[in-house]
Amino acid sequence: MRDANVHPPLDSPDYKSTRLRHPKQPLVYLPHTMAEKTGPQLGDLRPGPLDHDLTGQHAGEPLGERITVSGRLLDDGGRPIRDSLVEIWQANAAGRYRHRWDTWPAPLDPNFSGAGRCVTDAEGRYEFVTIKPGPYPWGNHPNAWRPAHIHFSLLGGAFAQRLVTQMYFPGDPLFPFDPIFNAVRDPKVRERMIARFSIETSQENWALAYEFDIVLRGPEETPMEEEH
């Protein structure tokens, strides 16, 4: 697979849910055509001005550590990806998702839904205001807990750039035990999924800051055959 040195193998049996879902047949190599190199423009999907603030979606503020999460969306040539949709979702400070399948005994927060969206600016920058999610248990193996994380969904500028990934927090004691985090084979690449704590952009009396750059594969340079 072209991404093989970065992305985890689809067949990662320690992450139980992959066992019946990963393709067993070889992937067919696809040289990029217009379908892969183009993608939807924001239209109806364009977020409103407050969609980036997960702490302001209800009558009161959610409990937990208020944080900003920001960074740049780039292609692997280092070029900013502008005007591109970034969506996140996460558990609350207690590690509980507002989703019907999450029923473990941690409290829901009536002031937190856990989903946000924004658009990258001219420098490819995005920013969210949220609260730091808690870790949570899941059924993968006995006493399995996911490290605290925020899910990111990116459309990029081209349909083939689509990426869903997870951002983690520095110093989490659960990293050695998490099969999803460890499905990424290269330890240096794993490090890139961990946000950088930033005291310099933390805001006095208001919020600590985390920085997380996201790199999507660039457009292929080799000219492709046109489809007929």
Partner 1 sequence: MRISGQVLDGAGAPVPDALVETWDPAARAFARCPTDDDGAWAVITPRAPFLAVNVLARGLLHRLVTRIYFSLDDPDAVLAAVPQDRRQTLLAQPAEDGYRFDIRLQGRDETVFFDV
Contact positions toward partner 1, by CB under 8 A? 1-3, 7-10, 12, 15-25, 27-36, 38-41, 159-160, 162-164, 180, 183, 225, 227-228
CB of 25 to partner 1, least distance (A): 5
The yes-or-no answer on residue 217 being catalytic is no
Catalytic residue among 15, 126, 136, 168: 136
Catalytic residue among 98, 125, 151, 190: 151
- Return the number of the residue (65 or 189) whose C-beta is nearest partner 1: 189
The yes-or-no answer on residue 136 being catalytic is yes
CA distance 224 to 154: 25
CB of 196 to partner 1, least distance (A): 23
The CA-atom distances, in angstroms, between 103 and each of 110, 120, 180 are 15, 34, 21
- Return the number of the residue (23 or 48) whose C-beta is nearest partner 1: 23
Token pair of 105 as six digits: 């005994």
Catalytic residue among 72, 96, 117, 146: 146
The yes-or-no answer on residue 146 being catalytic is yes
CB of 103 to partner 1, least distance (A): 15
- Long-range contacts at 59-63 (CB < 8 A, ≥ 24 apart): 59/111, 60/110, 60/111, 61/111, 62/92, 62/93, 62/109, 62/111, 62/112, 62/131, 63/92, 63/93, 63/94, 63/109, 63/111, 63/112, 63/131
Q: End-to-end alpha-carbon separation of the chain, Å?
A: 26
The yes-or-no answer on residue 15 being catalytic is no
**H/E stretch holding 36:** helix 34-37
Catalytic residue among 97, 126, 168, 210: 97
CB of 176 to partner 1, least distance (A): 19
- Return the number of the residue (25 or 205) whose C-beta is nearest partner 1: 25
Catalytic residue among 126, 149, 168, 210: 149
The yes-or-no answer on residue 66 being catalytic is no
- Return the number of the residue (155 or 207) whose C-beta is nearest partner 1: 155
Q: Supply the DSSP symbol for 142.
A: T
Q: Give catalytic residues, as residue numbers.
A: 97, 136, 146, 149, 151
